[in-house]
Amino acid sequence: MSEQVFVMPATELAKLGLKSFDKIHYQSSPEELVQDSLRIGEGVLNDTGALMIRTGEFTGRAPKDKFTVKDELTENSVHWNDFNIPIEPKYFDIVYKKMIDYLNRLPEIWVRDCYACADPRYQMNIRVVNEKPWSNLFAYNMFLRPTEDDLDSFQPDWHVIAAPGLKLDPKECGTRQQNAALVSFKHKMILIAGTGYTGEMKKGIFTILNYVLPHDKKVLSMHCSANMGKSGDTAIFFGLSGTGKTTLSADPNRKLIGDDEHAWTDDNIFNFEGGCYAKCINLTEEKEPEIFRAIRPGAIVENANFFPGTNKINFDDASITENTRVSYPLSFISNALEPSVGHLPKNIFFLTCDAFGVLPPISKLSPGQAMYQFISGYTAKVAGTEAGVTEPKPTFSACFGAPFLPLHPGKYAEMLGKKMQEHKVNVWMVNTGWTGGPYGVGNRMKLKLTRAMITAALEGKLNTVEFETHPVFGVAIPKECPGVPSEVLFTKNTWTDKNAYDEKAKYLGSLFIKNFEKYASGVSQEVLAAAPKV
Ligand code: ATP
Ligand code: MN
């Protein structure tokens, strides 16, 4: 194997304030980063050769600790809310200095140049500075990888600096607690301190792209997965966390474009990322072969455990977190599209994991219903693990991605609405959640059946069947679907207590209506008419 030696951009790193370049690992290969992680005792290999790491105290994102610097650029453009929390510029300067001082005191650090956006017209170069080698490997897996030639002339547009070991003093730093992620559009920097959760880097870049693309480039950015059929027909899958974007886009019969973050331009769909970040909980080779087989050398498995006395992963073990994850480059999926740029979409799926067990497993939406559902962004999680608490917790997250959207949701909705009209796409709502009753009574829809429904929709097999209107949600439910027993299609049929179903449906409908109040004045009559009838 030939050793690759890259020239470190020393002058530029010095400008950041970094010193002593002999301790900076620049553009290390995945093999080197795995070795470095093992050497410092922060990882082990499993029996298939993937790197197993622990992210520490944080095993998920910390949305309450993500701040956006409020300055002349952002003051009037960012939609300040629970997810876009302002912080004064002076605190950015303080945290920045602390991070550089901290990094300068460490025995070694890792720096990598990479980029986001697979369409060269929108390429955004990123320089990532990490305290940990496994964070740097995550950046290698998840962002796009420049060629040697690209690196010769590489100029970073944005910097991500991540120091999980640096604990901030909230008083001094203007933060809520010891961990924080600070985004400065002026400095084009994301500072991550006090948390080792790798997803902060990924979703940090996603957040800024959700500003830059629609605001500066008139391009719609979306929290969705995407794949393309043999005839070049693209499908996109919107949905909040855990609804099935990653699982359902990994379809052996279709080429994967990406599992989480895309843009829709005038002439294509492109992926922002160069990798996937899949959930591992209850993973089996039988149900999710593509993801299971991606757990191999180069992949990073986060916060999972082995069966005692072995180095075999116990995918059912949620003792560290339910949110066990694996990151890997897109090429680990056998049928990934390269580069990840696809045709304009023919089908849009809104994925929801309805733990109330009300919504039909697949239904077709009118244009008005599509806008209504997009703005609502509904899913329902299973409530906490406290004994006896079984009531699902509804979440409404505008555009299926409120935590990552710096602009007003209306901006994304308007752009999507125009595109849906212009391109006459089919829009489907797919409930990957409960059937046969709510959580505690019924069961989650079988993955095999959800896949069959999506395949039928994509192959046009639902174009010729009869539909029935849902009495509350007004959506069109196909009366038959290849590979799916008909009784499953009508959720009410799967409940033993039909009255209970009707009541739950009305209750869920009322939650939608209540949530929509804040948008009602800004949408058309057609969208308003798509509200549930309770
Ligand atoms: P995130 O935004 O957090 O990455 P995601 O939308 O990509 O979330 P997935 O990683 O695809 O979500 O998670 C879906 C999970 O639900 C997987 O663990 C999958 O095995 C499980 N699952 C169970 N039943 C179904 C089903 N019918 N359809 C889809 N996923 C299902
Ligand atoms: Mn995902």
Percent of the chain past pLDDT 90, that is, above it, reads: 95
Peptide bond preceding 339 in cis form (omega within 30 of 0): yes
Indicate which atom in ligand 1 lies nearest the CA of residue 450.
27
Distance (Å) from CA 369 to ligand 1 centroid: 24
Query: How many residues are present in the chain?
Result: 534
Residue 201 parent element (H or E): helix 199-217
What integer pLDDT is reported at residue 1 of this predicted model? 44
Please write the tens of the pLDDT for every residue from 393-421. 999 999 999 999 999 999 999 999 999 99
Please write the tens of the pLDDT for every residue from 224-238. 999 999 999 999 999
Mean pLDDT confidence for 481-485:
97
Residues with CB under 5 A from ligand 2 (ion): 245-246, 260
What per-residue string of b and e applies to 82-97 under the rule 16 or more CB within 10 Å gives b?
ebbbebeeebbebbbe
Distance (Å) from CA 218 to ligand 1 centroid: 31
pLDDT surpasses 70 at 3: no
Please write the tens of the pLDDT for every residue from 175-227. 999 999 999 999 999 999 999 999 999 999 999 999 999 999 999 999 999 99
- Ligand 1 contacts CB of residue 204 (under 6 A): no
Q: Where does the pLDDT of residue 5 fall: very low under 50, low under 70, confident under 90, or very high at 90 and above?
A: confident
Q: CB neighbours (10 Å) of residue 31?
A: 12
With the CA atoms of 135, 337, 417 and 512 taken in that order, what torsion angle do they form, in degrees rounded to the nearest 10?
Answer: -60
pLDDT surpasses 80 at 388: no
Which pTM does this prediction carry? 0.97
Distance (Å) from CA 401 to ligand 1 centroid: 16
- Ligand 1 contacts CB of residue 247 (under 6 A): yes
Ligand 1 atom 27, closest CA: 447
pLDDT surpasses 80 at 511: yes
Q: Where does the pLDDT of residue 20 fall: very low under 50, low under 70, confident under 90, or very high at 90 and above?
A: confident
Nearest 5 degrees, angle CA 83-CA 85-CA 88? 160
Distance (Å) from CA 247 to ligand 1 centroid: 5
Residue 223 catalytic? yes
Indicate which atom in ligand 1 lies nearest the CA of residue 444.
24
Q: Where does residue 63 fall: left (phi above 0), alpha (psi -120 to 50 degrees), or beta otherwise?
A: alpha
Nearest 5 degrees, angle CA 486-CA 491-CA 495? 110
Q: Which of 332, 305, 337 is nearest to 318 (CA)?
A: 305
Residue 61 catalytic? yes
Percent of the chain past pLDDT 70, that is, above it, reads: 98
- Ligand 1 contacts CB of residue 379 (under 6 A): no
What integer pLDDT is reported at residue 190 of this predicted model? 99
pLDDT surpasses 90 at 383: no
What integer pLDDT is reported at residue 334 of this predicted model? 94
What integer pLDDT is reported at residue 387 of this predicted model? 59
What integer pLDDT is reported at residue 390 of this predicted model? 65
Q: Where does the pLDDT of residue 6 fall: very low under 50, low under 70, confident under 90, or very high at 90 and above?
A: confident
Distance CA 238, CA 215 (A): 21
Residue 98 catalytic? no
What integer pLDDT is reported at residue 4 of this predicted model? 67
Residue partners of 336: CB distance under 8 A and separation at least 6? 255, 256, 330
pLDDT surpasses 60 at 2: no
Distance CA 115, CA 351 (A): 28
pLDDT surpasses 80 at 504: yes
Residue partners of 455: CB distance under 8 A and separation at least 6? 251, 253, 483
Please write the tens of the pLDDT for every residue from 123-145. 999 999 999 999 999 999 999 99
Q: Which residues pair with 258 in a beta bridge?
A: 226
Residue position matching structure tokens 């876009």: 84
pLDDT surpasses 70 at 292: yes
Mean predicted lDDT score pLDDT of the chain: 96
pLDDT surpasses 80 at 373: yes
Mean pLDDT confidence for 79-107:
98
What per-residue string of b and e applies to 238-263 under the rule 16 or more CB within 10 Å gives b?
bbbbbbbbbbbbbbeebbbbbbbbbb
Residue 293 catalytic? no
Indicate which atom in ligand 1 lies nearest the CA of residue 223.
2
Mean pLDDT confidence for 366-385:
90
pLDDT surpasses 90 at 243: yes
Residue position matching structure tokens 């006459």: 424
Mean pLDDT confidence for 328-342:
97
What integer pLDDT is reported at residue 21 of this predicted model? 84
Ligand 1 atom 4, closest CA: 241
Ligand 1 atom 11, closest CA: 244
Measured CA to CA in angstroms, residue 291 lies from 141, 277, 449, 455 at distances of 14, 10, 19, 19
Indicate which atom in ligand 1 lies nearest the CA of residue 446.
27
Q: Where does the pLDDT of residue 389 fall: very low under 50, low under 70, confident under 90, or very high at 90 and above?
A: low
pLDDT surpasses 70 at 487: yes
Distance CA 259, CA 246 (A): 5
Mean pLDDT confidence for 306-311:
98
